[in-house]
Structure formats: C-alpha cells, structure tokens
C-alpha cells in the first residue's frame, strides 16, 4: 500500500503513529493522520491549508483537544482504523483524478476532507477547508500558480481583541445578522458542514466533542418552537449548553440597555442567539458583544431559516443554480432573507405580493445587485400565478407576522388571493416542492391539501433547521481551548 507514498506522506503516517502512541492508542485514526499532516509543516498539504485560510496551529489544537488523553505508550506497526483505511483509499482516488502517479500529503488531505464522518473531516470543514476550495488549492499548488496570501479572509468582520489570533478562520467569531454577512463560498461551507453533521448525526460520541463546555445564550422577545428547540438540541448534541432567556427575564432595553446586556453576556457565554422585534436590537447586541451574535429572526430577516430552506431545496433538487423559487404572500422577514440567499446562490426568485406588502426596498435592490453577478432573476409581481409559473419550489409564510397581530383583520381581507392551494400549484413545474417556514395557519396562506400533499417537504425543512443550526454553531462559535485564551506558552 505504501510504495507510491512520497517521502513526506510516509513521514505523515509515521508522525500519526507517534501522535497515537503519545495519546496511548494502538491504532491510527483520521485524527492522528491529521495531526501528523500538520506536523509535516513544509508539505503541499499544509501549503494548501494555508492558502485557503486555515489556521493550522489552531486546527491542530482543536483536534488535540477532542482526543482522549491516554498514558502515552509507544506503539509500533499500528493498525489503521477502518476510517483511516478509507482516507487512504480516497487519497488514491484523488491521485487518480489528478493524474498523479504518487500519493502525496495533498492527496491525504483531500481524503481526510472527503471521509466526512469523523472529527478530522468536521474540523477541517469547520476551519474553512471544504472540499471544493481545497481541491482548487491543490491544483494551484501542484501547478505552481498558487497565490502567496491566504484567500478570502474577511478580517474586517472579525470581532474584538480576544479573537485576534484567529484571523485565518473564516467564520469563527463573526456575527450572522443577515444573509448578506455570508459570501457565496461561506454559504457553501455552511451547506457542506450541515451535510457532514447530518450524515453523521447518529454519531453522538464524535459530535459531542465539537462544542464541549461552550454555552449559548438564547434571547427570545417573541415565541418560538423550531428555533428554540433546534438551537438548544444543537448545543446539547455538540457537547455544549444553551440558556433560554424569555422576554420577561432580561427585558432588553427596559431593565437595562441593550449594550449593557451584551457587555454582561460576553463575560459568561460563548455566543448569543437573539429573536427580536427590531433588527436594530440584534445589530446593537452585535456591536457591543465581543462574541458571535446570531439573528434568530428580526422584523427584517430570518437568515437561519433561509439557510435551512435552501439546504432543503438543494437536498431535494441536487442543484440550486438555475432553479426558480416562487414566494407567495407577505414580503416579510423570511421573504427578505430568501431573496438575498437566492441571489447569492444563483436561484431565480419571483415574489408574488399584494400592493403595500412587498419585500424591503433596500434588500430587494441589494438582491438585484448580487443577482447581476450570479445570473439569477429577481422579480416582484402582484400576480401569484405569474410568480408560481414554472417554479421548482413554492414558498409561503403567514399573512401577519409576530408583532403585527393588530393588523391581522385588515390583512385577512387583502391576502386570500395569495393562498397557496392545489389550483395555484398547477402553474408550477410538475415536480414542484412546497416549503413553509412554519408555523402554518392552515386554511389561510396554505390549504391542508398542499401542506399534507405529495409536493410538501415542510417537515424535512423543519428537521433541517437542526442540522443547519449545528453547522452554524460549529462554524461561528469559538472553541476556548485555543491557546490564546490561556496565554502564550
């Protein structure tokens, strides 16, 4: 098996054995291979990781932190675990695809990313080493056309001084207030990480080390079923903890200022998730808290929902580019996030909304600007049938959102022509899927026959809220075991 291995790739395996031995194991897992790979610091694999902005020192620290610490017996001729064997098979496959007649460290790296169902893959992806960018970087390194500076690192959005050492990590420590906070590549990373975590969701033991001992504060100014439960379950499954703060608990801006609440929370917890009436509240929380703040619905956007929606569409249809999404009803927070996400991933979107209930003008303009680059068509029409025409996916939401209860009666007069029913769905493609963020008001914006019919994927969509939440937490939340938190050695 080893004849085609380069000198450096052999050394990686040797280092992996040493790492395993140091940790008291007598087998070599993908995590040991990754530690070995990073130790071989002059290798093509490490150059690839650096070129795509992965901080290898932190990655190594995180992996080391997740592995059980043994007695440190020295092993010889250690066996590879079945997952490590699969990594080697995948490395061979990568070499074949790249027409290389040797197995180098770069092939081992791609094999580790592709394996998917192990902490090494999850950590790599979480640090920004998704398969596509890594493969591109391997090709660049092999052809000598690599750029000398790390790619696409959004330093300007990094948070305060405690995070200073992690500038190479793309999403870690940042806020998610709007879909527009994410680049197209970062959205891909979120989807990829979601896929890996969903695929390995039965692997409780492996996932429970990912955010061990981390705490999420969940601020709710409004009710919730899905968002509250999925964020809380996500933290539990990743080994952390979530604190539910109901409206009467902290009374943001009433008991104390939003800034003071933020400046308290950042001293105790690792991230804040907030569901608020005014979007300004999440932006203010983010401004004053030097920990990630995630918007879990405001009057302007619902980014976590839109990510789960597009992940579901991708899962159902395979591709996002070139599809048409129709949104029918109120041009609300959900519609706004969907417009931005559609534009970013190249899905055309047509919103059928009554006069006076169109999406936010600034968001619409921004979505059209982004769509100029991706080729998506972004339209708003008064005619629901026109919006739905030839759509691959049809989406609706309640006619009056939380906070608009006083407008309910008025809206009930305007919206009935925008009900998604079997008749309206006839205008879409035959294999159309139906989505709804839920809760649904059956008989208002959607009929039972559509909600419960063959096109409906609403409960798969609701399930995906959990997998996306886990990916977001894994990607955005800082792991405090990193060295900068305990000071330099």
The structure tokens 């592995």 sit at: 67
Nearest to 330 by CA among 405, 415, 394: 415
Q: Which is nearer to ligand NVA, 347 or 401 (CB)?
A: 401
Q: Does 436 bind ligand CP (CB under 6 A)?
A: no
CB of 362 to ligand CP, least distance (A): 23
Q: Which is nearer to ligand CP, 49 or 297 (CB)?
A: 297
Coil vs helix vs strand at 375: coil
If contact means CB under 5 to 8 A according to the sort of partner, which of ligand NVA, ligand CP, none does residue 225 touch?
Answer: ligand CP
CB of 282 to ligand NVA, least distance (A): 14
Pair 50, 151: CB distance under 8 Å: no
Helix boundaries (H) for 1-55: 7-22, 30-39, 44-51
Q: Does 404 bind ligand CP (CB under 6 A)?
A: no
Binding site for ligand NVA (CB under 6 A): 297, 332-334, 397-398, 401-402, 437
Q: Which is nearer to ligand NVA, 173 or 359 (CB)?
A: 359
Site for ligand CP in 284-323 (CB under 6 A): 297, 305
Two tokens, residue 478: 């800082």
Q: Which is nearer to ligand CP, 15 or 311 (CB)?
A: 311
The 190-229 contact track toward ligand CP, x by CB under 6 A, reads ----------------------------------xxxx--
CB of 276 to ligand CP, least distance (A): 13
CB of 455 to ligand CP, least distance (A): 19
CB of 439 to ligand NVA, least distance (A): 7
CA distance 186 to 252: 31
Only one of the segments 61-69, 176-184, 253-261, 436-444 lies at the binding site for ligand CP (rule: CB under 6 A); that segment is 436-444
- Other beta carbons within 10 angstroms of residue 361's beta carbon come to 9
- DSSP state at residue 173: T
If contact means CB under 5 to 8 A according to the sort of partner, which of ligand NVA, ligand CP, none does residue 398 touch?
Answer: ligand NVA
- The torsion of the CA quartet 295, 298, 300, 303, rounded to 10 degrees, works out to 30
Q: Does 243 bind ligand CP (CB under 6 A)?
A: no
- DSSP state at residue 290: S
Q: Does 38 bind ligand CP (CB under 6 A)?
A: no
The DSSP element (H or E) to which 352 belongs, if any, is strand 348-352
CB of 481 to ligand CP, least distance (A): 31
Pair 204, 237: CB distance under 8 Å: yes
Q: Which is nearer to ligand CP, 109 or 420 (CB)?
A: 420
Two tokens, residue 268: 């105790």
Q: Which is nearer to ligand CP, 259 or 402 (CB)?
A: 402
- Other beta carbons within 10 angstroms of residue 68's beta carbon come to 8
If contact means CB under 5 to 8 A according to the sort of partner, which of ligand NVA, ligand CP, none does residue 366 touch?
Answer: none
The structure tokens 């990094």 sit at: 158
If contact means CB under 5 to 8 A according to the sort of partner, which of ligand NVA, ligand CP, none does residue 1 touch?
Answer: none
CB of 367 to ligand NVA, least distance (A): 18
Report the greatest alpha carbon distance in the chain: 77
Q: Which is nearer to ligand NVA, 8 or 465 (CB)?
A: 465
Q: Which residues are catalytic?
A: 275, 302, 305, 397, 437, 465
The DSSP element (H or E) to which 469 belongs, if any, is helix 458-476
User: What are the residues facing 349 on neighbouring strands?
Assistant: 325, 378
CA distance 73 to 64: 17
- Cα 406 to its chain centre, rounded Å, is 35
Interface residues toward ligand CP, by CB under 6 A: 224-227, 297, 305, 437-439
């Amino acid at each position: 098996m080893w004849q085609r291995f380069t000198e450096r790739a052999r050394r990686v395996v040797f280092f992996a054995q040493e790492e395993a031995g140091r940790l008291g194991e007598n087998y070599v897992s993908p995590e040991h291979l990754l530690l070995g790979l990073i130790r071989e610091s002059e290798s093509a694999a490490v150059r690839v990781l650096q070129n795509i902005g992965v901080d290898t020192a932190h990655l190594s620290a995180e992996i080391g932190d997740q592995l059980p610490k043994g007695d440190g017996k020295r092993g010889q001729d250690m066996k590879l675990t079945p997952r490590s064997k699969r990594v080697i098979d995948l490395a061979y496959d990568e070499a074949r695809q790249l027409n290389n007649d040797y197995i180098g460290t770069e092939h081992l790296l791609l094999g580790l990313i592709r394996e998917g169902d192990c902490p090494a893959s999850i950590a790599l992806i979480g640090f920004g080493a998704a398969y596509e960018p890594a493969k591109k970087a391997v090709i660049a390194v092999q052809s000598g056309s690599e750029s000398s500076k790390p790619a696409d690192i959004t330093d300007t959005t990094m948070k305060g001084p405690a995070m200073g050492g992690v500038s190479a990590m793309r999403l870690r420590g940042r806020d998610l207030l709007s879909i527009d906070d994410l680049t197209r590549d970062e959205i891909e990373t979120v989807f990829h990480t979601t896929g890996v975590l969903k695929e390995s969701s039965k692997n409780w033991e492996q996932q429970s080390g990912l955010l061990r001992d981390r705490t999420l504060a969940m601020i709710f100014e409004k009710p919730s079923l899905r968002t509250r439960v999925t964020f809380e379950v996500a933290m539990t499954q990743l080994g952390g903890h979530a604190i539910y703060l109901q409206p009467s608990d902290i009374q943001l801006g009433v008991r104390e200022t939003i800034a003071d609440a933020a400046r308290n929370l950042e001293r105790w917890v690792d991230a804040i998730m907030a569901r608020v009436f005014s979007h300004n509240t999440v932006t203010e929380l983010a401004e004053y808290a030097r920990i990630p703040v995630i918007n879990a619905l405001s009057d302007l956007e619902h980014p976590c929902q839109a990510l789960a929606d597009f992940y579901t569409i991708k899962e159902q249809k395979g591709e996002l580019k070139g599809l048409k999404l129709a949104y029918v009803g109120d041009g609300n927070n959900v519609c706004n996030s969907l417009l931005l996400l559609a534009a970013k991933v190249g899905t055309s979107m047509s919103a059928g909304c009554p006069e006076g209930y169109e999406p936010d003008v600034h968001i619409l303009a921004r979505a059209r600007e982004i769509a100029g680059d991706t080729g998506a068509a972004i339209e708003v029409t008064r005619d629901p049938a026109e919006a739905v025409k030839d759509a691959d996916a049809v989406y609706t939401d309640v006619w009056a959102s939380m906070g608009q209860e006083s407008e309910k009666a008025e809206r009930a007069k305007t919206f009935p022509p925008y009900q998604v029913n079997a008749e309206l769905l006839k205008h879409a493609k035959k294999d159309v899927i139906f989505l709804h963020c839920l809760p649904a008001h059956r008989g208002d914006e959607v009929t039972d026959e559509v909600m419960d019919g063959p096109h409906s994927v609403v409960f798969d969509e609701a399930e995906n809220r959990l997998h996306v939440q886990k990916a977001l937490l894994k990607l955005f939340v800082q792991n405090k075991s990193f060295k900068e938190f305990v000071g330099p050695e």
